[in-house]
């Protein structure tokens, strides 16, 4: 049997890169001799993250369209033409069996070129409201692996498979709470609030926690506050307070989830998928500054099934203290949220996505 070859494209954010790497790792475990090539956008984080994961990557000159008039927008047609031309060159040179896209503008160019060359393509859509790139590519794609139900209005029903989003493997085997408490030097008699804003941090969530810190501590809790590397200088001073740990980044997500009793988080696709698996009572505060407001839609898909609480940024001032007080004091509410969000977990996502890819290998 000849060696299988896969091109995987996705980037711009960790939410596109992590699933791409997880899919590559699972394919590699099944086809140890296979060859892999990633394609991303020059100057984006995938150009560092993918080589760190052990894969080769080529960069395209492409970026998204801004919401206001900018030089970048004026350059978009030129960048798109350049990216399409280079995508054709890369595909003809590498000769992949299948091309997989996990989102982002680079993946749009690569999947479009692959479909024009009659190479099977797979889209992995992480969000409950698909981005424009994947909607445009859907007609020509062979398979579309989705993480949410009811996406028939965006994608052809016969091509869609509900797989979920790839999550870190270590989250699927639950870590022990006692190990987590020891690792983070926590007080076993206090409840732990975990605050997550993503690897870069979330400015509005950080502002909220700073403003409400005394209120939160008055609830007899301890806080692990992941503020993001962009904000560490602004918030590290709160490490001086008892029962507060401020960090830029958390390496042991398995342990921090095990330690947490309640989570406050953004609602990017990866975070939502992880929180479904670990099943913690969660307050989602979606970022309103993302394409098609997909974080609000992701959070709503969970809160509509009583799996989490959704507070919009615009409602924090009026609602946060009342909502948090009610949740922290109400064990049955915590238990209900935990059970309901867990029902929405799809822990075999990576394997299920790879099953669909394997069916297309020519």
Between CA 266 and CA 195 the distance in angstroms is: 9
Give, to the nearest 10 degrees, the angle between helix 14-30 and helix 269-278: 60
Between CA 299 and CA 105 the distance in angstroms is: 24
pLDDT tens per residue across span 85-126: 999 999 999 999 999 999 888 899 999 999 999 999 999 999
What's the pLDDT score for residue 20?
94
The pTM score is 0.88
| Secondary structure (3-state) at 66 | coil
pLDDT tens per residue across span 23-54: 999 999 999 999 999 999 898 889 999 999 99
Give me the DSSP letters along 167-205: --HHHHSPPPHHHHHHHTT--TTSEEEEEE--SS--HHH
Residue 65: pLDDT band by 50, 70, 90 thresholds?
low
Beta-carbon contacts of 29 under 8 Å, excluding residues fewer than 6 positions away, are none
What's the pLDDT score for residue 280?
96
Average pLDDT over residues 291-305: 93
Question: In this structure, how many other beta carbons lie within 10 angstroms of the beta carbon of residue 114?
Answer: 28
Between CA 61 and CA 35 the distance in angstroms is: 24
Task: Specify burial of residue 52 (Cβ count, 10 A radius: 0-12, 13-18, 19+).
Answer: exposed
Residue 278: pLDDT band by 50, 70, 90 thresholds?
very high
What's the pLDDT score for residue 16?
85
């Amino acid at each position: 049997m000849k060696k299988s070859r896969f091109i995987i494209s996705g980037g711009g954010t960790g939410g596109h890169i992590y699933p791409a790497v997880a899919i590559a790792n699972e394919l590699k475990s099944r086809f140890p001799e296979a060859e892999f090539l990633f394609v991303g956008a020059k100057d984006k984080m995938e150009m560092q993250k993918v080589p760190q994961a052990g894969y080769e990557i080529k960069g395209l000159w492409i970026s998204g369209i801004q919401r206001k008039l900018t030089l970048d927008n004026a350059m978009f047609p030129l960048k798109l033409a350049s990216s399409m031309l280079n995508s054709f060159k890369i595909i003809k040179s590498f000769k992949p069996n299948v091309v997989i896209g996990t989102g982002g503008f680079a993946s749009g160019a690569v999947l479009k070129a692959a479909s024009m060359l009659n190479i099977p393509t797979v889209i992995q859509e992480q969000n409950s409201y698909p981005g424009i790139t994947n909607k445009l590519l859907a007609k020509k794609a062979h398979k579309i692996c989705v993480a949410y139900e009811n996406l028939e209005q965006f994608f052809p029903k016969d091509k869609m498979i509900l797989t979920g989003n790839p999550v870190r493997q270590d989250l699927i085997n639950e870590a022990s709470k006692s190990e987590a408490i020891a690792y983070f030097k926590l007080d076993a008699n206090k409840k732990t609030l975990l605050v997550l804003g993503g690897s870069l941090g979330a400015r509005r969530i950080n502002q909220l926690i700073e403003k409400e810190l005394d209120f939160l501590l008055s609830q007899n809790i301890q806080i692990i506050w992941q503020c993001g590397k962009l904000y560490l200088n602004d918030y590290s001073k709160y490490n001086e307070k008892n029962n507060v740990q401020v960090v830029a980044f958390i390496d042991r997500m398995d342990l921090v989830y095990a330690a947490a009793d309640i989570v406050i988080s953004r609602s990017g696709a990866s975070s939502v998928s992880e929180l479904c698996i670990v099943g913690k009572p969660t307050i989602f505060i979606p970022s309103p500054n993302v394409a098609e407001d997909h974080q609000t839609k992701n959070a709503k898909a969970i809160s509509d099934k009583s799996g989490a609480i959704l507070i919009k940024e615009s409602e924090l001032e009026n609602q946060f203290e009342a909502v948090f007080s009610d949740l922290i004091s109400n064990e049955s509410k915590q238990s209900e949220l935990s059970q309901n969000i867990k029902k929405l977990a799809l822990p075999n996502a990576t394997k299920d996505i790879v099953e669909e890819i394997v069916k297309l290998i020519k």
